[in-house]
Chains A and B, each alone.
Chain A
């Protein structure tokens, strides 16, 4: 009750009202400001995979054309990962699950990594990749339009087009989305 009386009195106080309104205004501006990403993202309108992009394989160090690996199934996944990258560990289980569907081949690009660490990572956690390529200095990934690890691209094998890009680790939602795309195309 007492509080109510005080509040009523204060509402009449112009100074008080102005200050409260002003601080609420600042609050909402900051809140809005938080929603805007401040970092620069490349908006590469890349749909097709460049024809001349070559990589070295992780295990035998042979040079291959990325395009040549995109065949077999209707869809491929290109996954950029590194053994030092934490979120990559989290998404690994989804990649293994995708592999077990046998409807898709997964190409891994090992980003700025040591060979021994990468091999150990795969032998510890399992290898979902049909082929593992290496990108020691990270430049090849940039040509694919990547800005960090992990990133996952879903590629349509017929016209070699990138359908979706996932920035950050795969999760249950993204996983289902990928499965849905694959299933739909089949029918």
Chain B
């Protein structure tokens, strides 16, 4: 009777161990496949090799750069050092505006051109930049 109990317990621990191993393996395997790197236009320029996976590029929408036609939106993301032309088909969030921060997710065609599949614009609870908010608190 006692032997059976020990066996059961050993089996149980083995099962837990196996399932933890399985979880870790599965999670990290799909992490590798689904990671999207975030780059600035300058980093894109300096890539040793053109990234073929999906990436995110963040920066400001350059002034007077948004061009629209029936199906597409073209604009330029800038970090004030380098620029990247973005071509996008789809819907944009309502914080998408010239001179505002933007994150475009998509595939690079070359170092100057991104075919975006998703546009994200950052929204903030407070629209003063965070470091200003922080400074404000320090002054109190």
A residues with a Cβ closer than 8 A to B are 37, 39-40, 42-46, 85-87, 90, 138-139, 142-143, 145, 147-150, 167-169, 171
Contact = CB atoms under 8 A, between A and B. Distances in A.
A87 B60 contact: no
A138 B40 CA distance: 23
B9 interface: no
Contacts of A40: 40, 58-59, 101, 122
Interface residues of B, number: 22
B131 A46 contact: no
Contacts of A43: 79-81
A42 B99 CA distance: 11
B3 interface: no
Name B's interface SS.
mixed
Contacts of A169: 132, 135-136, 139
B81 A167 contact: no
A139 B63 contact: yes
A177 to B, nearest CB: 15
A39 B129 contact: yes
Interface of B: 40, 58-60, 63, 79-81, 98-99, 101, 122, 128-132, 134-136, 138-139
Contact of A139 (B99, B101, B129, B139): B99
B63 to A, nearest CB: 6
Given A45-B80, A148-B129, A167-B131, A87 B63 contact: no
Contact of B139 (A44, A45, A87, A147): A87
A142 B135 contact: no
A142 B64 CA distance: 13
A37 B134 CA distance: 12
Contacts of A42: 59-60, 79-80
B92 to A, nearest CB: 18
A169 B132 CA distance: 7
Given A42-B79, A45-B80, A150 B132 contact: yes
A90 B139 contact: yes
A45 B58 contact: no
Contact of B80 (A39, A46, A86, A148): A46
22 contacts: A39-B122, A39-B130, A40-B40, A40-B58, A40-B59, A40-B101, A43-B79, A44-B81, A45-B80, A87-B128, A87-B135, A142-B60, A143-B63, A148-B129, A149-B132, A150-B132, A168-B131, A169-B132, A169-B135, A169-B136, A171-B138, A171-B139
